[in-house]
Amino acid sequence: MSKTIRFHLTLAAALLLSVAMGAAQSGQATFKAKCQMCHGATGLADSGAGKAMHVKPVTDPEVKKLDEAQMIAAVSNGMGKMQPFKNSLTSTQIKDAVAYFRSFIK
């Protein structure tokens, strides 16, 4: 393989990695700013607000069975006591925050 092709492949891989890292960091920042107060730092709903409002932790079977689209809809439109965020977050921020939250599901 020529040096030019290798260089371009390496450059493309680095670019893709930096985009993925940026999305993960963006999701984490949005989660910390908008979600963590109720859902807790690791999704266990162990914060004061989470306990007071009886927020289900990420380990709850009902939460685990929700797919990504259902979680995005819940964040966008609200669910139970959770307010809708469609007017205060972009769809990308919501998607990234949901992806970060889903990373806690084991």
**What CA–CA distance (Å, rounded) separates 6 from 43?**
41
In the numeric block, which tokens belong to residue 6? 């290798």
Mean pLDDT computed over every residue of the chain: 86
Query: How is domain 27-102 classified at the CATH fold level?
Result: Cytochrome Bc1 Complex; Chain D, domain 2 (1.10.760)
Tally of CB atoms within 10 A around 50:
19
More confident of the two residues 104 and 10 = 104
More confident of the two residues 87 and 9 = 87
CA distances (Å), origin 85, targets 22, 23, 36, 80, 104: 21, 18, 14, 13, 21
**What CA–CA distance (Å, rounded) separates 40 from 104?**
11
The pLDDT of residue 9 is 59
Domain ranges within the chain, ordered by starting residue: 27-102
**How many separate helices (H) and strands (E) can be counted in the chain?**
6, 0
Model pLDDT for residues 1-20, shown as the tens digit of each residue: 676 766 555 655 554 544 44
pLDDT band at 90 (very low <50, low <70, confident <90, very high): very high
**What CA–CA distance (Å, rounded) separates 19 from 13?**
10
**What CA–CA distance (Å, rounded) separates 64 from 78?**
17
